Amino acid sequence: MSDLFLYGWRIRTDLPLPELLPWTGDDRVPDIVVRLGSVPPRNDEDRLVTPFLSVGGDGAARFEIAEVAAFLISGGRDIVVEPAVATDAPDIALFLLGSVLGVLCHQRGFLPLHASSLAAGGGAWALAGGSGVGKSTLAAALIDLGQRMLADDVTILDDEGGGRMLALPAFPRQKLWRDALEALDIAPGRRLRSTGAMDKFERLVGSRFQNAALPLRAVCHLVSDPRLTEPLIEKLRGVAALDALMSNTYRRIAGEAIAGSGPLFRRVAAVASQVPQFELRIPHDLDRLDRIAVAVRALLDEALAEPVE
């Protein structure tokens, strides 16, 4: 299998990852290597960080989901996968591009946010929030209005220094609930996950993918507010900004265990101090999704145009 592109990293993988674009960059040694193999059981000395994740003294992390796979992630570079099911089962890729990616990020010293990110006027906007708040749905509507997407679920930031904080491009696929796809009149792709009554499907964004990193201009922390008919935006400052970013740091607990709470705090504080943070309260109204998206764009454009005090 040829190498693939993921957040600007060259990834060599035994495991099929159909959502990723092929690598067309330089002939560097792969930044990340995913191979199938056996993952040793947890050591007694390993620290149990969550019921699924343990970290060894050498910083290597072991992540296991019963009946899916075990993953061993070392040095921010090497991932060994021991599947419990067929290697092309969507759940394996789901966790690889989810929690395992989060761990990898923290090992590499990058900050991952639980956020969708979109291109806007030469920069990037990140829409952050917990699962189910509506980041992907709002992002899908903004994509339909013409904004390109950098990432759907995990936005990875690269602090270049000198005030330049970049949002990195992931892969051209969203995961959307069936009702969001229907509201946007989009035909669903491959089914990704069935949880009871609600299914999530792929939505490929094709040419609407932003394949180059962009400077992060704003982070909007989404809150679903059923009382509202129109979205509302409010600037977050100081501790409120820091707190929102901490809450929306992807796999924060893992990050604290792997990178250390000091380095993680510094990474988050750097974003809070360099990039405007907002709370964005959105109505939950799929029928008016396109108009909500237009309103969000106008609110954010206006909020960012204001002179910085």
Partner 1 sequence: MHLSDTAILAQKPGVLAAAIDDLVVIMSAERAEYYELNPIAADIWKRLANPRQVAELIAELVGCYEGDPALVGSDVRHLLTELAGRDLLDIR
Which of the ranges 54-62, 189-197, 237-245, 278-286 carries the binding residues for partner 1, by CB under 8 A?
A: 237-245
On whether the CB atoms of residues 61 and 24 are closer than 8 A, the answer is: no
The count of chain residues that interact with partner 1, using the rule CB under 8 A, is 16
Q: Which is nearer to partner 1, 55 or 244 (CB)?
A: 244
Stretch (H or E) spanning 272: helix 261-274
Question: Which amino acid belongs to residue 99?
Answer: S
Please state the closest distance from residue 127 (CB atom) to partner 1, in A: 21
Among 223, 269, 286, 304, binds partner 1 (CB under 8 A): 269
**8-state DSSP, 209:** B
Mark 146-185 with x for binding to partner 1 (rule: CB under 8 A) and - for no binding: ----------------------------------------
> Binding to partner 1 (CB under 8 A): which residues in 36-65?
none
Q: Which is nearer to partner 1, 52 or 265 (CB)?
A: 265
Q: Which is nearer to partner 1, 35 or 237 (CB)?
A: 237
Among 257, 272, 293, 296, binds partner 1 (CB under 8 A): 272
Please state the closest distance from residue 208 (CB atom) to partner 1, in A: 33
Tell me: does residue 279 bind partner 1 (CB under 8 A): no
Among 239, 247, 298, 302, binds partner 1 (CB under 8 A): 239
Q: Residue 47: which of 246, 256, 267 has the closest Cα?
A: 256
Please state the closest distance from residue 240 (CB atom) to partner 1, in A: 9
Which of the ranges 82-90, 97-105, 213-221, 232-240 carries the binding residues for partner 1, by CB under 8 A?
A: 232-240
Q: In sequence order, what DSSP letters do the residues of 57-126 get, joined into one string?
A: TTS-EEEEETTTEEEEEETTTEEEEEESS-TT-HHHHHHIIIIIHHHHHHHHTPEEEEEEEEEETTEEEE
237: helix, strand or coil: coil
Tell me: does residue 291 bind partner 1 (CB under 8 A): no
Distance between CA 36 and CA 15 in Å, rounded? 7
**Residue ranges with strand state E in the chain:** 4-6, 9-13, 21-22, 32-36, 47-48, 53-55, 61-65, 69-74, 78-83, 111-120, 123-128, 149-151, 154-161, 164-167, 173-177, 191-195, 198-204, 214-224, 232-236, 277-282
Q: Which is nearer to partner 1, 94 or 272 (CB)?
A: 272
Q: Which is nearer to partner 1, 178 or 235 (CB)?
A: 235
Tell me: does residue 241 bind partner 1 (CB under 8 A): yes
Q: Work out the burial of residue 19: count CB atoms within 10 Å of its CB; fewer than 13 is exposed, 13-18 middle, 19 or more buried.
A: buried
Q: Residue 94: which of 69, 66, 112, 73 has the closest Cα?
A: 69
Among 120, 139, 242, 296, binds partner 1 (CB under 8 A): 242
Residues that bind partner 1 (CB under 8 A): 237-239, 241-243, 256, 261-262, 265-266, 269-270, 272-273, 309
